[in-house]
Structure formats: structure tokens, C-alpha cells
Chains A and B, each alone.
Chain A
Amino acid sequence: MSWQAKPRLIATPVSDARAKPGPSAVATSSANVRVSNGLKEFLWLLSDSKQGRILDLGQVSQATLTFFIEKGFRVSTEDLLRAWKEFLVAEEENFRTAPVGNGVAEVSPTIFADKFLESALEYPAEHFHGVLAWDIFDYLDAQLLPKVMDRLYTILQPGGAVLSLFHSRTPERFSRYRISDPQTIELLPASTLSVHARIFQNREILDIFGKFRSSKTFVGRDQVREGLFLK
């Protein structure tokens, strides 16, 4: 295995009047774009999959859906961070309204994580060829993260890949992501859905993807690392 890709990620604000017309051009007025070598590699890995299945763990995006569907993929979307947040809000409400002494009070982060995954990421084993995780791992609770990783590993086909982003410093704002072309990811400012939980060191990234058989990272000028992990 040889890694020869030269990391070259550029995050630049887009205010170019020559932006392509149509819906994307509207969005770029407030969006950043980054050239993504990780995405390029991700697509290359998926290029052998006929009618492959993709799981997008970010907010559903017309552009990302269109991108993969035009290539013949079937796409599933599950906004994991939002689902987690809504789950916590619901649990908090249950906790607040439960009678004193009720068993609901027996809670812990681990129990929350287990309960959440009873209704999240429910897919058949080895179902997906690729997973777009974006930067959600930076935001997940410490107790939930390893369980999510286990689940992702289960639902990913052998040879399947996970594309993920890791911030090297606390991001100035919460962003959503979408694919605009085979080597470009757009960052869309969004209202903060979750607090940035942690900054992973390289060793920690390798640890959380410990089950995966290989990994490859690209570090951008903005110190955001893209990771590609192969089952």
C-alpha cells in the first residue's frame, strides 16, 4: 500500500461572480468550498460499485443526492447529529415529567447511547458501499462514538469506505456539507446543532477506526483533516 496523494485542501470563500448558475450558485454566496482529495479518493473507491449504496449522515442535500443518483447510486440519508439532539431533548423531557422514583431516572450516557442506537443507524449488515460521515465524529458524545463506529463498521460492506472530516481546532461555526462536484465540498454555515466535543489527535483517529483495515488522511491548509477509512 502506498500513499502518494499530496494533501491540498483549500478553503476559500466563494464570491466569484462566475460561479455556476442554478441553485448551487445561490448557495455559494455564503458558503465555503474546499477541494477535497478525500472525496476524490472516496469516489474512486466506489467506482467499481454498480448501483452502490451510500449513506449520508449529514443534513439531506439536493446537491449531494443528485450527485450520487446521477452516478447510479442509491442514497440513504440520516441526519445523525440532529437525531441525537432530538433524542436527548426527548429523553430530558421524559426525565423531567417522570414521577419521582420511576425507573426512568436510571440513566447514564451509556444507556442513552444504547437507547439511541435502538432506533438509529438501523440497516442490514454490510449494506452500504460508502458512508459520508462529514465531521459528526467531532460532535458525538464520548460514550456514543464507539458504538456508532461499531454500527458503521457492521453496516458497511467489506471494501466499503467512510469519508470523514476532523477539525484540528475548534471550528468557528457549525457547518453542513454538500458535494458540488467530484472534488469539491461546500461548507454551508448552519445554526449550531451541537457543541464541538473534541479535537482528535491522529492516534485517536486511528483508534476509533481501529477495526478498519486501512486509512488515509489528507490535511488541508485550514488544518482540517479528511480521513478515508476502508473496511
Chain B
Amino acid sequence: MWNKSAEAKPSSQASDTSGPVIPAPAANTQQTPDTAAAPPTPQNSAPVHPAAPPSTIVTTIAAGLKISGEISGTTDLYIDGEAQGKVRLPNARVTVGPNGRVQADIEAREIMIEGTVLGNLKSSERLYLGAASRVQGSVLTPRIAIEDGARLRGKVEMVRASGLQFDSSAETSVEVGKAKAMSASGKDE
């Protein structure tokens, strides 16, 4: 493998300016009704929060509450307590607050993590990992934003939004071998 042709070998002195262009996150300090309705967190006005379509209903699992089983539906969900099982909200946003401890696979349009998650994350639009987030599991999303300090143990795979669809088979594996990679967005600091 070392014996590649000389022309293919990178020059030690060559200047390569073809580095990745990491788009700056779109600043969005305007709170949407759903974020305003959610319990206050340090990230409620974070610039990487997606500009989600307004949603009037946010279901909250508050701190101190523990729920087990499968959660599915169409409204946004804020978890600041404990949840185990499975979370499937294909057309909504799931937010795990700073006190949230989730032991479940999460499928949602948008996933925002500020707490702890043990499970696979599958987002059809975007995924945000806050500075205090701890995630152990695989990630499949078209776009991802990771704050400095976030902890992620697992595989990250990115696909085009059109190539990621939730189906009724409730596939939990994120091995989508033929998925096309695309750029991430968000900030690193």
C-alpha cells in the first residue's frame, strides 16, 4: 500500500487549499413557539437550533418523571426526566434536556440532545449535540451540529435528507451502506 505511484503520492510541501468548507450555522435566535414552551435550558436560544416549523404542542416528560415503553405520535417531545424503550416521532422534534436520561432509540425529524442518551439516534432533518450531552449509540442524520464538549461514543453516518425515511418496520440499525455522504453543518465551539 505504501508503494503507490509517485504522482499519486501527496507532496509533503504541497499546499492544499481544498479543505472542507464548514458552513457556519445559521443564526437563529428567534424562539419558536415550541422552544419557548419547553422548560428553560441553556440551549433554548442556541444559534444552532433549527428553524423548525411552528408547533403549538410540546409534550414534556419533566425531571423526576420516569416513563417506559414506546412513545410515538406527531407532537414535539421534551424529555427532562427518564425514558426507556423507544421514541418514534418521525415528524416532530425530540429534545432531551440537561436532566434527561434516555435509554432508547430515538427517531425524529429533529433531535436535540443536552442530556444523556443510550441508544441510536435517527433524524430525518438534523441532530444537535449540546456541550453537556452524552450519547452512546449510532447516529444517522443528514445534518449534525456538535458543540465542543459533547461526548459521543458510536458511529456517525450522514445521508441526504431525501434518502432517510422512516418506515413502519422500525428499523433501528443505522447501517445504511449505500447512503450518500453529505456535508454537516453547525458549529464546533
**In whole angstroms, how far apart are the Cα atoms of A78 and B145 in the complex?**
17
User: B183 in the interface, Cβ–Cβ < 8 Å?
Assistant: yes
Say yes or no: B12 contacts A37, CB within 8 Å. yes
Our pick among A61, A181, A184 for the contact of B188 (Cβ within 8 Å) is A61
**In whole angstroms, how far apart are the Cα atoms of A63 and B181 in the complex?**
15
Closest to B19 in A: A181
Q: Which of A20-28, A87-95, A96-104 lies on the face that meets chain B?
A: A20-28
Chain A residues with CB under 8 A of B25: 23
User: B111 in the interface, Cβ–Cβ < 8 Å?
Assistant: no
Q: How far is the CB of B14 from chain A (nearest CB, A)?
A: 8
User: A146 in the interface, Cβ–Cβ < 8 Å?
Assistant: no
Say yes or no: A67 contacts B145, CB within 8 Å. no
The number of residue pairs between A and B whose CB atoms lie closer than 8 Å in the complex comes to: 130
Say yes or no: A230 contacts B22, CB within 8 Å. no
Contact string, B13-33, partner A, CB cutoff 8 A, digits 1/0?
Answer: 111111110111100000000
Say yes or no: A60 contacts B181, CB within 8 Å. no
User: A72 in the interface, Cβ–Cβ < 8 Å?
Assistant: yes
Q: How far is the CB of B55 from chain A (nearest CB, A)?
A: 27
Chain B residues with CB under 8 A of A202: none
Chain B residues with CB under 8 A of A43: 10
Give the interface size class of chain B: 35 or more
Say yes or no: B188 contacts A62, CB within 8 Å. yes
Say yes or no: A180 contacts B19, CB within 8 Å. yes
**In whole angstroms, how far apart are the Cα atoms of A27 and B24 in the complex?**
13
Q: Among residues 1 to 38 in chain A, which have CB atoms less than 8 Å away from a CB atom of chain B?
A: 1, 5-8, 21-24, 26-27, 37
**In whole angstroms, how far apart are the Cα atoms of A6 and B10 in the complex?**
12
Chain A residues with CB under 8 A of B144: 62, 65
Give the interface size class of chain A: 35 or more
Say yes or no: B155 contacts A8, CB within 8 Å. no
With A23-B187, A24-B188, A45-B1 as contacts: A72 and B154 at CB distance below 8 Å: no
Our pick among B9, B152, B183 for the contact of A44 (Cβ within 8 Å) is B9
**In whole angstroms, how far apart are the Cα atoms of A164 and B108 in the complex?**
37
Say yes or no: B22 contacts A62, CB within 8 Å. yes
Q: Among residues 150 to 189 in chain B, which have CB atoms less than 8 Å away from a CB atom of chain A?
A: 150-158, 177, 181-184, 186-189
Contact string, B103-139, partner A, CB cutoff 8 A, digits 1/0?
Answer: 0000000000000000000000000010000000000
Say yes or no: A178 contacts B188, CB within 8 Å. yes
Q: How far is the CB of B133 from chain A (nearest CB, A)?
A: 10
Chain A residues with CB under 8 A of B18: 181-182
Q: How far is the CB of A95 from chain B (nearest CB, A)?
A: 24
Q: Is the interface of A mostly helix, strand, loop or mixed?
A: mixed
Q: List 22 A-B contacts (CB under 8 A).
A: A1-B2, A22-B22, A23-B22, A40-B16, A41-B10, A45-B1, A61-B188, A62-B187, A63-B188, A65-B144, A66-B183, A69-B158, A69-B183, A70-B181, A73-B181, A74-B156, A74-B157, A76-B155, A77-B156, A180-B19, A181-B20, A182-B16
20 new A-B contacts, CB < 8 A, other than A8-B13, A65-B144, are A1-B3, A6-B12, A7-B12, A21-B24, A22-B24, A23-B25, A40-B12, A40-B16, A44-B4, A59-B151, A60-B129, A69-B157, A74-B155, A75-B155, A77-B156, A78-B154, A159-B1, A181-B20, A216-B2, A230-B2
Per CB-CB distance, the 4 closest pairs between chain A and chain B, nearest first, are A181-B19, A62-B188, A23-B187, A22-B24
Interface of A toward B, CB cutoff 8 Å: 1, 5-8, 21-24, 26-27, 37, 40-41, 43-45, 47-48, 51, 59-63, 65-67, 69-79, 82-83, 159, 178, 180-184, 188, 214, 216, 230
Interface of B toward A, CB cutoff 8 Å: 1-4, 8-10, 12-20, 22-25, 129, 144-146, 148, 150-158, 177, 181-184, 186-189
